[in-house]
Amino acid sequence: MSRIAAHASAGLADLSGRLGQAGLLALVGLAFLFITGFAGADVLHNAAHDARHAFAFPCH
C-alpha cells in the first residue's frame, strides 16, 4: 500500500515538475512571439514588418 502511495506521489511530483518547466518554457516562448509578432510599437512593427506578413500575423 505504502509502495503504491509512494509511487503515486512520485508520479505527482513528476507531473508538477513537468508542468512548471513546460509553463516556464511556454511563457518565454510567448514573450518572444509577442515582441516580434504582435507588439504595437512602431519601431518593432517596422523592423518585423515583412516577417509578420509572411507568417500571416495580423499586421496593420
Partner 1 sequence: MRRALIAALVAAVVGCAVVTAAQQAVVVPLILKAETFEDAAPKAEPQAHSHAPGTPADHHHDADAWSPADGIERIAFTALANLGVSLGFALLLVAGFTLAGREVDGQKGLLWGAAGFACFTLAPTLGLPPELPGSVAAAVGPRQVWWFGTALATGVGLALIVFGRHVALKILGVAAIVIPHVVGAPHPPAGEAGGVPPELAAQFAVLSLAVAALFWGVLGWVSGTVWRKAS
**Interacting residue ranges for partner 1, rule: CB under 8 A:** 14-15, 18-19, 21-23, 25-26, 28-38, 40, 42-43, 45-60
Q: What is the DSSP string of 1-55?
A: -HHHHHHHHHHHHHHHHHHHHHHHHHHHHHHHHIIIII---HHHHHHTHHHHHHT
Minimum distance of partner 1 from residue 1's CB (angstroms):
25
Give me the least distance between CB of 4 and partner 1, in Å please: 20
Residue nearer to partner 1 on the CB measure, 6 or 17: 17
